């Protein structure tokens, strides 16, 4: 039986009263008992069924919004998905809220992606629920390591790891497989359902990759300036070169700003790309000096496929 919404039930009750015959007061009470009580029972049963279905779903936590998109593609309506880094916040400096930490007590799975705040908070996140499975979705991915620019995440040798692996469709396929394997391990009875969805999503990712290549194939200027170095993996995939304004996680000095302005003029760069989670002041200063403009692109948008197509089209338009 499908559950009834409160709206539908209210409509039924209205109709019952509108269509009721004329009765004596005693018969009216009997009429209401026979007509309204079954409706109330339907409402209670329907709400109870909806609540049971919700309780039977997996509870999955992810670090950033694009991961929510990945998990939803696999689980559809079989999981409640919570995101740690809230919209507008930075994964480099985020501090989970008390209610988020409390919600972890009901989680079945936490999917890491390697952003900096995880390094600081992962022990506390793990301690919040010892039964919760934690996976590294970046397992099997060769991440970019550099000693020239900081991504706020250091290895023992002092070099820096670029965590922005969700901006490469090819690397997302590896992440999706890792997520899929973890979900099947937790909820094996629905393996066939997850397998079908996983295969469909991988097909969509391949199509996305093809579309981005078609969009960018005729771009002449392959270098672009961006405030925060989020787009290294995307640039590597599609033959572009990212030039970051931010140096070692900090605003550039006056000397560094001068060098960037000179480079932009030399390369005929007229657009500075920024993301909404960071200050635009330095980008606007450079844009003014090169008689250019600032354009916003968001690496953390939730609708991952739609966003990467939008970014590709923006690059195609601006890197003429």
Instruction: Give tens-digit pLDDT for 193-217.
Output: 999 999 999 999 999 999 999 999 9
Instruction: Flag whether pLDDT at 57 surpasses 80.
Output: yes
DSSP 3-state of 41: helix
The model's pLDDT over 160-181, given as tens digits with 9 standing for 90+, comes to 899 999 999 999 999 999 999 9
Between the alpha carbon of residue 180 and those of residues 68, 72, 137, 239, the distances in Å are: 13, 11, 10, 30
Average pLDDT over residues 178-199: 98
Query: pTM of the full predicted structure?
Result: 0.81
Which runs of consecutive H residues, i.e. helices, occur in the chain? 6-19, 25-55, 65-75, 98-103, 116-127, 169-186, 191-216, 232-237, 254-266, 281-289, 304-318
**Confidence label for 48 from pLDDT (cuts 50, 70 and 90):** very low
According to the model, what pLDDT value does residue 81 have?
98
Closest among 52, 179, 151 to 93, alpha carbons compared: 151
Q: Give the Cα separation of 149 and 320 in Å (integer).
A: 27
Average pLDDT over residues 178-190: 98
Query: In order of start, what are the domains of the chain with their CATH numbers?
Result: 6-55 (no CATH), 58-211 (3.40.50.1980), 214-318 (3.40.50.1980)
**Confidence label for 278 from pLDDT (cuts 50, 70 and 90):** confident
DSSP, res 247: B
Between the alpha carbon of residue 278 and those of residues 91, 122, 151, 163, the distances in Å are: 11, 24, 14, 17
């Amino acid at each position: 039986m499908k559950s009834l919404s409160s709206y539908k039930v209210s409509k039924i009750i209205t109709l019952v009263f509108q269509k009721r015959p004329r009765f004596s007061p005693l018969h009216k009470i009997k009429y209401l008992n026979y007509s309204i009580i079954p409706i109330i029972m339907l409402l209670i049963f329907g709400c109870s069924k909806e609540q049971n279905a919700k309780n039977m779903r997996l509870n999955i936590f992810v670090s950033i919004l694009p991961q929510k998109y990945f998990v939803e593609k696999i689980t559809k309506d079989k999981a409640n998905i919570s995101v740690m880094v809230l919209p507008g916040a930075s994964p480099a400096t985020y501090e989970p809220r008390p209610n988020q930490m409390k919600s972890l007590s009901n989680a079945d799975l936490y999917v890491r992606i390697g952003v900096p705040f995880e390094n600081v908070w992962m022990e506390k996140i793990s301690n919040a629920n010892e039964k919760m499975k934690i996976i590294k979705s970046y397992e099997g991915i060769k991440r970019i390591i550099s000693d020239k620019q900081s991504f706020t995440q250091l290895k023992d040798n002092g070099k820096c790891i670029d965590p922005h692996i969700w901006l490469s469709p090819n690397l997302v396929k590896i992440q999706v497989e890792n997520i899929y394997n973890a979900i099947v391990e937790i909820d094996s009875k629905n393996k066939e359902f997850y397998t079908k969805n996983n295969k469909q999503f991988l097909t969509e990712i391949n199509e996305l990759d093809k579309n981005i290549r078609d969009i960018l194939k005729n771009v002449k200027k392959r270098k672009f300036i961006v405030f925060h170095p989020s787009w290294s993996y995307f640039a590597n995939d599609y033959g572009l070169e990212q030039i970051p304004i931010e140096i070692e996680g900090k605003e550039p000095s006056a000397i560094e700003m001068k060098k960037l302005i000179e480079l932009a003029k030399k390369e005929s760069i007229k657009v500075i790309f920024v993301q909404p989670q960071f200050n635009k002041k330095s980008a606007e200063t450079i844009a003014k000096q090169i008689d250019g403009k600032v354009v916003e692109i968001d690496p953390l948008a939730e609708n991952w496929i739609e966003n990467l197509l939008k970014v590709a089209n923006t690059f195609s338009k601006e890197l003429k």
